[in-house]
Amino acid sequence: MIKKSFSLYEMEQFIREAGAEKVTEDAVLRLEVEIEKLAEQMTERSRMYAQHAGRKTIKADDVRLIFDGSRFVRQSNPASLSPNPRSTNITSTADR
C-alpha cells in the first residue's frame, strides 16, 4: 500500500483546476482511489523495467518507459482514446 501523498483538499483543487465549479466529496474520494491504483500500476511496471535491465533500483528512464507506447497516455481528451490506437481509415487502392 502506498502512503498517500495528496490531501483531500489537494485532490479537490486538481478537479477545480480542471474546470469544475463544484466538487462532491465522493468525487474527491474516488479520484484519490484511482490515483492510488494508477500509482501502484506505474510503480510495478517501472520495477519490471528495472528488473529487466538487471537492476533493483528504479530510475527515471524506467518510469518514462511506461509512458512510451503504452496505455498510460497523456491526452487532453479521454474520448479520443480508441480501443485500437493503430486502426486508421486508410482505404485500399482498389477502393479509390
pLDDT of 58 strictly over 90: yes
Residue 5 banded pLDDT, cuts 50, 70, 90? confident
pTM metric for this prediction? 0.60
Give the C-alpha separation, 5 to 66, whole Å: 21
Three cell numbers written together for 33: 482511489
pLDDT of 74 strictly over 60: no
Q: Which of 1.10.20.10, 3.40.50.880, 1.20.1440.230, 3.90.1150.10 would CATH assign to domain 8-74?
A: 1.10.20.10
Predicted pLDDT at 7 = 85
18-51 confidence digits (pLDDT tens): 999 999 999 999 998 898 899 899 999 999 999 9
The answer to whether the beta carbons of residues 62 and 49 sit under 8 Å apart is yes
Counting every residue, how long is the chain? 96
Average pLDDT over residues 64-75: 67
- Residue 82's contacts (CB-CB under 8 Å, 6 or more residues apart) are none
Task: Give 79 or 57, the one with higher predicted confidence.
Answer: 57
